[in-house]
């Protein structure tokens, strides 16, 4: 089960600027962002770098039926870049502040991987010395918090 964090701060001037620049409603702008972020869970790394993708690839992730008639999805992605929702750094595309806003998702993934490793090693008679955040793991079977 995947999720993205959508904070109330998203509903502000930056969203309005994106909607106005793209020629779409604020609801379409928010829907576009949430769609992009859900897609990003499988297509961006923890720093937000969108892996092996260009504007055309990203635009294909935005369903055309969720946008008003006449809205070009490639132009929409260019507007996401020009309004700061996607950052372009040395030719690579990044979801803006992805590591900050999706931190809980990556903590969950790290914890899940650690727990799987811990259980596997326990079955094999081994115990990892530290938790996923470097916390000591007791021998009483407690999970680190």
0.85 surpassed by pTM: no
Nearest-Å Rg of the Cα atoms of the chain is 19
CATH topology of domain 12-97: Arc Repressor Mutant, subunit A (1.10.10)
3-state secondary structure the chain: CCCCCCCHHHCCHHHHHHHHHHCCCHHHHHHHHHHHHHHHHHHECCCCEECCCCHHHHHHCCCHHHCCCCCCHHHHHHHHHHCCCEEEECCEEEECCHHHHCHHHHHHHHHHHHHHHHHHHHHCCCCCCECCCCCECCCCCCCCC
Query: Which pLDDT score is estimated for 122?
Result: 83
Query: Which pLDDT score is estimated for 140?
Result: 47
- Residue 26, token pair as written in the block: 């604020």
Residues 88-98 pLDDT 10s: 999 999 999 88
Residues 14-27 pLDDT 10s: 999 999 999 999 99
* Contact yes or no for 32/67 (Cβ under 8 A): yes
Q: Which residues in the chain show pLDDT less than 50?
A: 138-145
| Beta strands at 86-89 and 92-95: parallel, antiparallel or unpaired | antiparallel
- Of 136, 24, 8, the closest CA to residue 80 belongs to 24
């Amino acid at each position: 089960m995947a999720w993205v964090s959508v904070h109330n701060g998203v509903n502000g001037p930056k969203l309005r600027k994106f909607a106005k620049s793209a020629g779409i409603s604020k609801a379409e702008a928010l829907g576009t962002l949430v769609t992009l972020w859900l897609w990003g869970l499988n297509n961006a790394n923890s720093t937000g770098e969108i892996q092996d993708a260009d504007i055309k690839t990203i635009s294909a992730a935005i369903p055309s039926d969720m946008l008003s008639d006449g809205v070009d999805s490639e132009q929409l992605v260019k507007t996401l870049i020009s309004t700061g929702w996607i950052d372009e750094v040395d030719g690579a595309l990044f979801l803006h502040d992805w590591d900050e806003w999706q931190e809980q998702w990556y903590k969950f993934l790290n914890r899940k991987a650690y727990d799987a490793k811990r259980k596997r090693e326990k079955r094999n008679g081994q115990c990892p010395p530290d938790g996923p955040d470097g916390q000591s793991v007791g021998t009483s079977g407690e999970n680190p918090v």
